[in-house]
């Protein structure tokens, strides 16, 4: 049985590749705007997005283990999604400056033909140093973080913004790989798929 990552994220792809998993990538065409922003329940919001992304692909690949995921940044009771422009990216980074935010990633893994689901979320607390306008403008202009929740990617130059992390680093990158493996290996059906696709 093959594995499909329902995401075009190069970061998620790289994390799964580093685990020596054999898998295909099919980007979900699900429109995220169809899901109402749930500022009071961020974990529910990102898990819904992960589920819909996954099911968008699994409906046509019922015999595959399809993995959907969604990462959001949560700060001051507000979800910060991907910025639409430079001004919004600057607003995000100024808000995150000199404070702590939470990064949530929802994961939904599904084998439609076997009616098997693995659904969970992880969260990490990230504290930023106080940022100056020069660093913010340099980062946005050079790294164009328009595909990243909260307007930054911890694996790139913005790592210098980070004072400390409490939780899984890979969750902040975009996929809590260790928790996925731990929970997946506890599921008999998914366990067989993962083991069968390691070092294939």
Nearest Cα neighbor of 74 from 100, 53, 48 is 100
| Contact criterion met (CB below 8 Å) for 78 and 38 | no
Q: Residue 175 phi/psi, 5° resolution?
A: -160, 120
| Contact criterion met (CB below 8 Å) for 101 and 94 | no
Neighbour count for residue 116 (Cβ, 10 Å): 15
* Residue in 24, 70, 147, 156 annotated catalytic: 70
**Residue 70 annotated in active site:** yes
Measured over the CA atoms of residue 196, residue 197, residue 199 and residue 200, the dihedral's sign is: positive
3-state secondary structure 134-184: HHHHHHHHHHCCCCCHHHCCCCCHHHHHEEEEECCHHHHHCCCHHHHHHHH
Helix, strand, or coil here: 53?
helix
What are the residues facing 159 on neighbouring strands?
A: none
- Catalytic center residues: 70
């Amino acid at each position: 049985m093959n594995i499909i990552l329902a995401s075009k994220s190069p970061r998620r792809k790289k994390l799964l590749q580093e685990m020596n998993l054999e898998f295909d990538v099919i980007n979900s065409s699900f429109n995220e705007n169809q899901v109402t922003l749930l500022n009071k329940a961020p974990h529910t919001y990102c898990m819904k997005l992960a589920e819909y992304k996954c099911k968008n692909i699994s409906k046509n690949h019922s015999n595959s283990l399809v993995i959907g995921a969604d990462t959001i940044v949560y700060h001051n009771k507000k979800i910060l999604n991907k910025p639409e422009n430079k001004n919004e990216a600057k607003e995000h980074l100024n808000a995150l400056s000199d404070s702590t935010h939470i990064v949530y990633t929802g994961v939904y893994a599904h084998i439609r033909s076997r009616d098997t689901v693995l659904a969970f979320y992880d969260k990490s607390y990230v504290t930023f140093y106080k940022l100056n306008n020069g660093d913010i403008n340099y980062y946005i202009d050079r790294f164009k973080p328009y595909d990243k929740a909260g307007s930054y990617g911890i694996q790139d130059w913005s790592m210098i913004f980070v004072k400390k992390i409490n939780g899984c680093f890979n969750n902040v990158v975009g996929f809590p790989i260790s928790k996925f493996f731990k929970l997946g290996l506890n599921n008999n059906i998914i366990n067989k798929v993962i083991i069968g696709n390691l070092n294939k």
